[in-house]
Amino acid sequence: MFGALLAAEGTDRALLESVAREFSPRIEICGPRQITLDLSGLTRLFGDARTIAQELRRTAADRGLRVRVAVAGTRTAARLFVHHRAGITVIDAGTEADMLASLPLSLLPTITNDPNDPNDLLFTLRRWGLRTLGEFAALPSDAVAARLGQAGVAWQCCARGEDARPLVPAAPEERFEQTLDLEWPIDGLEPLSFVLGRLMEPLSAHLERRDRGAAVLHVRLYLVTRALHQRSLQLPAPMRDARALRTLALLDLESHPPDAAIDRVTVAVDPTPGRVVQFSLLTRPLPSPEQLSTLTARLAALMGEGRCGSPVPVDSWRPGAFAMKPFAPRDASVRNDTPRHRDTEDIPSSKNLGPAVPRSVGGADVAANPVVALRRFRLPIPARVRVENGRPIRVVIDRHGFGGGGVQVAAGPWRMSGAWWDPQAWDRDEWDVVLADGLTYRLFHQRLSAEARSAKAGWFVEGIVD
């Protein structure tokens, strides 16, 4: 059993939808003023079909709405009758075709979603001498399909009161939002944490009931100065843990505090389908997204934004250039067979290194097919270098664990420069030198202006050639 509501002109659709949802959770919005309801099972609550229709109209009248109500065994019949008759219309199930036979053909364009001009098809039917739905329904379906195509067949099904498809329920627009008006303004994160905890608990419960997770967390603070302080956090994974959401909001507000006291707090989330996790029996599970998000947020609050994450290479010739992206580890079950690049490894001391094998010193290769890698230091080590005739002859490294001394063999310089238009431009000479300790070091000398050299030491040890 289906019902159809048709409201008067100028009716608010949201108000009409709220009336329909009070009776049935399965409703379909057919237009700005028309809604179809699935009334199956309501006879136990209200009684027969006419009683249900009367209750629908009475509830709408209490909201200030003037509506037409039609109840029938099919959605199509209910929609046709609600357009044709005012008040309440009830059609017994199984008699839809007989009751529709006397209705005019002009009702069909009101319920069909034909992308073509429906007036052309209606004009054709009238040229055939048809005036009622019963006359059109009595025609052979094969002949209608041959002359009018699929649009004509769909119209004939509507004329017979048949449903071409099942009812498609409209999902209600849920707002995952909590607001609290404070009796007294608060100032500081400590009292705000209690308010956020009070708001996060019902919000988390709402997300859990709907099997949703928060993708974006919005915190809106209404200040006593009538200003709005708003922050939005992109969460790395859907989550609904109230404590984790509160901690993330507090850490973000610690870095971006409001300018005045707060008298109203609103917390909202952008929902997304809940996270489904399948753990492996053979590998150790990764920490939960809530734990990772809280840890990275604490590190970002301590070190500053953009200083925590995972390094990624950038399209640049600048030595050691990289960018930071949010830390998002892959699943442990996904194996990466590509070996690590040894250029990115840091070493605390030269005691952990084996004997150095320079690739090319003095123009002669040590091996026919050498394997050479530069173990680059994360931060280049300042050094004091003595130069004669433009070549380094002695290197002193003021750091424990590193040797120094006279230069046995030196190869270079290799000059590198780039990004002259950028304040972070580089212009330097690189040398590979073998010192008295038997190790091969990569040195570079900044070839900048006098002002830049005054701010940056001239010589650095970039790494050890292995």
Q: What is the pLDDT of residues 26-59, one digit of tens each?
A: 888 888 888 899 888 888 888 888 898 999 999 9
Domain ranges of the chain: 2-159, 177-273, 350-465
Question: What is the spatial distance between Cα 398 and Cα 24, in angstroms, rounded to a whole number?
Answer: 80
Which CATH architecture does the domain made up of 2-159 adopt?
2-Layer Sandwich (3.30)
Name the residue among 446, 399, 455, 402 with its Cα closest to residue 426. 446
> What is the number of other CB atoms lying within 10 angstroms of the CB of residue 74?
21
How far CA 202 is from CA of 177, 181, 186, 207, 222, in Å, comes to: 9, 16, 21, 9, 20
Mean per-residue pLDDT, 422-433: 83
Q: Is the pLDDT of residue 63 over 80?
A: yes
Name the residue among 70, 67, 38 with its Cα closest to residue 53. 70
pLDDT band at 349 (very low <50, low <70, confident <90, very high): very low
Cα dihedral 362, 366, 369, 370 in deg (nearest 10): -90
> Where are the alpha helices (H) located in 63-186, listed in sequence order?
75-84, 96-100, 108-111, 118-127, 133-137, 141-159
Question: What is the spatial distance between Cα 89 and Cα 80, in angstroms, rounded to a whole number?
Answer: 11
CB–CB of 119/150 below 8 Å? no
CB–CB of 399/441 below 8 Å? no
Q: Which DSSP state fits 361?
A: E
Query: Which stretch of 88-97, 188-197, 368-377 has the lowest confidence by average pLDDT?
Result: 368-377
- Amino acid identity, residue 264? R
Residue 36, SS3? Answer: strand
- pLDDT score, position 448: 63
Q: What is the pLDDT of residues 355-383, one digit of tens each?
A: 344 444 444 444 455 567 888 887 888 88
Name the residue among 446, 408, 412, 447 with its Cα closest to residue 431. 412
> What is the number of other CB atoms lying within 10 angstroms of the CB of residue 17?
17
| Non-local CB neighbours of 14 within 8 Å, separated by 6+ positions | none
- pLDDT score, position 356: 40
Please, how many CA atoms are within 13 Å of residue 286, restricted to the half-sphere of its CB?
Answer: 15
Question: What is the spatial distance between Cα 414 and Cα 429, in angstroms, rounded to a whole number?
Answer: 5
Q: What are phi and psi of 154, to 5 degrees?
A: -65, -40
Q: Where are the strands (E) in 172-302, listed by range?
A: 177-186, 212-223, 228-239, 262-273
The residues that bridge with 426 in the sheet, in sequence order, are: 418
- pLDDT score, position 326: 76
Q: Strand 364-365 relative to strand 459-465: parallel, antiparallel, unpaired?
A: unpaired
Mean per-residue pLDDT, 104-118: 76
> What does the mean pLDDT of the chain come to?
81
- pLDDT score, position 285: 67
Give the residue, 345 or 144, on which the prediction is more confident. Answer: 144
What is the topology classification, in CATH, of domain 177-273? Answer: Dna Ligase; domain 1 (3.30.1490)
Place of tokens 């091969």: 440
Q: In what order do the strands lie in the sheet with 88-90?
A: 27-29, 34-38, 2-7, 67-72, 88-90
- pLDDT score, position 268: 93
Query: Which stretch of 96-110, 254-268, 336-350 has the lowest confidence by average pLDDT?
Result: 336-350
- pLDDT score, position 351: 37
pLDDT band at 230 (very low <50, low <70, confident <90, very high): very high
